[in-house]
Amino acid sequence: MFTKHVEWETIEPDSYPILSAVGYAPINAQLGLDASIKRLQAIKASKLDAYRELAEQVYGQKVDGEQSLANLVLTDNQLRSSVEGVIRGARVVKTYPVGSDTYATELELNMATVYDIYLSTAKPKKIRKVSYY
């Protein structure tokens, strides 16, 4: 019967990419009583759109398609897409108006920051050394 002691070490990637995304939202389409409320809502909506784009880059996009045939004739053609994920560590680079009716928000996701957040919660490890007694 052997007793063993295992030493672990964390694994770190060689390089960290920086992902960027831009989200857009129309100002006049927002619900609100005056222009300033519509502008603030467009800023928030453009930020959410940028987060959606980052989630697409990190997790991918799910695409569902459906077609219907009747007598070998295409009668219905549907395509749906969705994205789901959690983005942590993103930074707003800039929020600005584009033209007179659109707001844009630029986000940046440094994967080194994401890795640090991941290490603080998951602590991934690999075996460094095993000693048998």
Residue 12, phi then psi, degrees to nearest 5: -120, 135
Burial class (CB in 10 A: 0-12, 13-18, 19+), 109: buried
Give pLDDT, residue 40.
Answer: 95
Residue 18's H or E segment, with its range, is strand 18-26
Give pLDDT, residue 115.
Answer: 86
Give pLDDT, residue 30.
Answer: 95
**Average pLDDT along the chain, 133 residues, taken 10 residues at a time:** 74 89 96 93 97 96 92 89 94 96 97 87 75 77
Domain boundary assignment for the chain: 19-110
> What SS3 state is found at 9?
strand
The pair of structure tokens assigned to 125 is 């490890």
Q: Tell me how far apart the alpha carbons of residues 18 and 6 are, in angstroms, rounded to a whole number.
A: 35
